[in-house]
Amino acid sequence: MVTAPKRKRYLYCLIIITWFCFGNGKGLLAASVSDDVQVSQTVYEEEVVVPPTPPPSGTSPGQIIIDRIPPQIKNIQIDVTANSAIISYETDELAKGAFTWGKTSDYELGTTIEAYFLMRHVVEIRDLIPQTFYHFQISVHDSYGNQANTPDMQFKTLAQPDKTAPLNVSNLEAIPYYDRIELSWLNPKDDFAGVEIWRSDVFYPQDRQDGVLVYRGDAEKYIDKDVVQGKEYYYTVFAYDEQNNYSSGAITSARVPMPGEMEGVPGEIEIEVPPVVPGEVPTTPEITLLIEDFGLTLDDIIFTVKGVRAPVIDGQLKLKPNEPLNIAINYDKLPAILKTIAFTLKSGTKSFSFLLRVNEAKTAYEATVAVPEASGLYPFIVNLLGFRDQRHQQLTGILIVKEVVQALCSLPEPSPFLLMIKKIGVRWDRVLIALLLLLFGYLFYRFYRFRKKRLVAEKIYY
């Protein structure tokens, strides 16, 4: 007769054997092979139903089959862009795939698990960083729980397409002679392939379809001999890079003198407005410009250096030399049709002007120029001229270029003890807690000793 305790032991053993054979999905899982058999098994805590697996050659009906062969991962292909990657692979049998990825072999960025058993697998991951290495690993398992993993693998995302225009040329000058106009300039140092010079006898060319192309190349000097005496010529120089991104344009003008006249001075955008003297009525010129402006202030001009806005305080803009300065005005602050927006920088007796052009997104009028190399004060003017009503506004300020000098102090080398603490990475909060615990223990010990001495003294007294 089997007692109750023994029955419990037998029941426990039966449960353990059943779990060992069927619970982990890798034991003696089998079925009789027939055309209408379906095997149900728990894999990754979900119930799946898979079609019957054809019996291997040489097996007879009714024979028990044990599948312990993991799937094979093959034909791994990686297709990457600047911000995404598509990984495709195949398995030699129906299997579920798990894809993990990250910037390190810890695969800390994410995991994606397939919902179905497949033989052709495709995974797409997005929001990646351009020109960055990523680690990934593929893990697959079949319906019997047999698992296979790839080793640590890597791919690198592509570079972001270059849509950034180069800096405008600097120090653009036009010097007129009786038979020619000589233009000279300095090309930007980085992200540069060449320049295009467009000329007009009406006004400064606003883009590369306005006027006549007179030069294309990477030189820093051009002589225009196709000129007529007594005529004013306007030039716009566009710098471009290898991806054919063009700058907003640097502008200048010059008038070829007539015989007997002095050689002209390179022109600049400047609209003369008759001064108003209190108590007097100004005379009206032949062509009257409406003095009404666009209502802008210097605060509406957005100056940024490397993506960080540079504030204008009391009309002064302070920058370091040789930095790329971006000048922008929001598109919605101005009428849709303008004649010219130009930024003019004065250096001594010379002045250099640059066009502000609408960007591709039509969110702003922009120009990018190089801050002068030499420290000093550079007055600047932003000229805005309307096309239809000839409205004009001129905003002025001062660009202060100053080299930042950092004082170098010779600090003593840290002691080996401090270097050891820094290497270990001491948590000072924990050190403080430990010191407080030691202090508390010491006070408790002193109180205990004092109490003990007092008890001994009372015992002797009594």
Hey, what are 116's tokens?
Answer: 């179905």
Domain for residue 272, yes or no? no
The mean-pLDDT minimum among 50-59, 367-376, 420-429 falls in 50-59
Is 381 part of any domain? yes
Q: Which two tokens stand for residue 372?
A: 């002068």
Residue 398: closest CA among 321, 312, 324: 312
Do the domain assignments include residue 25? Answer: yes
Model confidence at 421, pLDDT cuts 50, 70, 90, reads low
β-pair type (316-319, 392-401): parallel
- CA atoms within 13 Å, Cβ hemisphere of 354: 27
> Rounded CA gap, 303 and 56, in Å?
75
- Whole-angstrom Cα distance, residue 71 to residue 91? 6
Residue 232, CB half-sphere, CA atoms under 13 Å: how many? 11
Q: What's the total number of domains in the chain?
A: 4
| Predicted pLDDT of residue 278 | 40
> What type of residue is 117?
F
Specify if 365 maps to a domain: yes
User: Can you give the pLDDT at residue 285?
Assistant: 34
Between 126 and 419, the higher pLDDT residue: 126
Structure tokens at 212: 């006549």
Taking a C-beta distance cutoff of 8 angstroms, is the pair 111, 13 a contact?
no
pLDDT value, residue 25 = 40
Model's pTM, two decimal places?
Answer: 0.56
CA 111, 114, 120, 125 torsion-angle sign: negative
Lowest mean pLDDT among 370-374, 424-428, 444-448: 424-428
Find the mean pLDDT for residues 309-324: 90
Strand partners, 238: 196
Where residue 352 sits, what CATH number does that domain have? Answer: 2.70.50.30
Q: pLDDT tens digit string along 396-417?
A: 999 999 876 444 444 455 666 6
Same domain, 31 and 88: no
Task: Tell me whether residue 330 is in a domain.
Answer: yes
- Average pLDDT for 62-74: 80
Q: Are residues 372 and 313 in the same domain?
A: yes
Out of 401, 417, 448, a domain closes at 401
- pLDDT (average), residues 387-394: 74
Q: Is residue 290 part of a domain?
A: no
For residues 213 and 145, membership in a common domain is answered with no
* Judgement on whether residues 141 and 105 belong to the same structural domain of the protein: yes
Residue 399 has a pLDDT of 92
Do 186 and 142 reside in the same domain of the chain?
no
Tens digit of pLDDT for each residue in 258-310?
887 764 444 444 444 344 334 333 333 333 333 457 788 888 999 999 889 99
In degrees to the nearest 10, what's the CA dihedral of 174, 176, 180, 184? -20
pLDDT value of position 54: 53
- pLDDT, one tens digit per residue, over 9-60 is 555 554 554 544 444 443 333 333 333 333 333 333 333 334 444 555 555 5
Calculate the average pLDDT of the chain: 78
* Same domain as 390, residue 304: yes
Quote the domain boundaries for residue 336: 298-401
Q: Are β-strands 212-217 and 194-200 bridged in parallel, bridged antiparallel, or unpaired?
A: antiparallel
Residue 414 belongs to some domain of the structure: no
* Same domain assignment for residues 88 and 151: yes
Out of 220, 255, 290, a domain closes at: 255
Q: Pairing mode, if any, of strands 324-330 and 364-370?
A: antiparallel
Q: Output the pLDDT for position 161.
A: 82
Query: 137-165 pLDDT, tens per residue?
Result: 999 999 999 999 999 999 999 988 878 88
Is 165 domain-assigned? Answer: no
Residues 137, 222, single domain; the answer is: no
Residue 450 has pLDDT above 70, yes or no: yes
Q: Which two tokens stand for residue 377?
A: 């004060």
DSSP assignment, residue 308? E
Tell me: do 144 and 235 sit in the same domain: no
| Whether residue 95 sits in one domain with residue 45 | no
Q: Considering only CA atoms, which of 394, 396, 249 is closest in space to residue 315?
A: 396
Residues 38 and 78 in one domain: no
**Same domain for 236 and 142:** no
- How far apart are alpha carbons 396 and 316 in whole angstroms? 10
